[in-house]
Structure 1
Amino acid sequence: MLGPELVWETTEKIALIRKRLVIAQSHQKSYADHRRRPLSFEVRDHVFLKISPKRDLMRFGKRGKLSPRFIGPFEILERIREVAYWLALPPPLSGVHDVFHIFMLQKYKPNPSHVLDWTELQVDEDVSYEERPVRILDTRDQVLRGKTIPLVKVLWRHHGVEEVTWEREAEVREKYPDLFINV
């Protein structure tokens, strides 16, 4: 095919692709709109603040914990805009900017087991903190086809026993050699 026939067929295919993309986008938007819930808080409400754990350790190709962490509760002093709130932060968090986007906040539901004890945390200006291991609870070897990977079960500071993780022994030994003194 050459000339006008090629141009016509190409134009038809592009139109079909655009139509399918519009349909897919419409489906995705309706799904997203259905799942999205409107958030808003009032002055004097209490909220949790989302913080991000930082670790130097790569666990199986992923950094950080899979689940988000929150600290608080903190009182809302003022609603700055529709999506920004000014929080009453305590003196240990004085280095953190006190106005937050609504997606950094979670409604306070009284349950002490879900609260991260923030009093001992050194929270950075970017609302993150460094995770540190406390001790090694167990060891095991992960056997894969032709090789064996030694693993250690690590208990992390500010987390309970139910949140321990299996890490590669070599990486933990390199980053935190003091954990292996009594092992």
Structure 2
Amino acid sequence: MKTAQSRQKTYINKIRRHLEFAVRDHVFVKIKPMKGVMRFGKKGKLSPKFIGQFEILEKERTSAYRVALPPNLAGVHNVFYVSMLKKHMMNPSHVPSFEPLQLSPNLTHKERPIQILDRQERRLQSKVTKLVKIEWLNHSDKEATWETESDTRS
């Protein structure tokens, strides 16, 4: 049993990154897409997304930080574990475009299509599948995805 525990510990220690932030650092907060909603062909934990550029107000514990959230996220608890944060590297030449997301209290959001950019037909033997290229809300044109027309209509 000791040998197995030691092996697991060395494996985890290679993977784990020790993250530490200072007060006034800027971080992104991880949110999760709503259960059952397909986003870019993947569901649930396979499609993480980070939001914001929030300032760290104080260090709560060894691995938890209090973050300054905007008023539209007032219902969300503002203390996050280090695994939910990602450091933001300041780059003065980069100006991000920020469109506020409508988040539920459990930090989930629903993806909504804006418009159809293109249409295409794929033939597999005798079957024809109609595809449409969809632009999603809060995403750039480069992140548009091909979806089946029947799924889009529903």
TM superposition score normalised by structure 1 = 0.69
CA contact (8 A) 1:72 1:118 kept: no
Q: Match for 1:117 among 91, 98, 108?
A: 98
CA deviations on 1:57-110 (whole Å, 9 max, x unpaired) are 547974369553222211111211112111111111111111111111000112
Supply the distance in 1 between the matched residues of 2:128 and 2:45 (Cα, whole angstroms): 25
Flag the 1:57–1:69 CA change in 2: closer, same or farther, 3 A: closer
Of residues 138-147 and 85-94 in structure 1, the stretch that sits farther from structure 2 once superposed is 138-147
Question: Is residue 106 of structure 1 aligned with residue 107 of structure 2?
Answer: no
**SS, match of residue 153 in structure 1:** strand
CA contact (8 A) 2:19 2:82 kept: yes
* Paired position in structure 1 for 2:26: 46
CA contact (8 A) 2:33 2:47 kept: no
Q: CA RMSD in A?
A: 3.0
Supply the distance in 2 between the matched residues of 1:149 and 1:82 (Cα, whole angstroms): 53
CA deviations on 1:7-48 (whole Å, 9 max, x unpaired) are xxxxxxxxxxx9xx949x82x654442232211112221111
CA contact (8 A) 1:49 1:104 kept: yes
Amino acid in structure 1 at the alignment position of 2:87: K
5+ residue gaps, structure 1:
1-17, 175-183
Supply the distance in 2 between the matched residues of 1:64 and 1:138 (Cα, whole angstroms): 27
**SS, match of residue 89 in structure 2:** coil
Which entry has the higher C-alpha Rg, 1 or 2?
Answer: 1
* Larger helix percent: 1
Q: What is the CA-CA distance between 1:52 and the residue it aligns to?
A: 2.2
TM superposition score normalised by structure 2 = 0.80
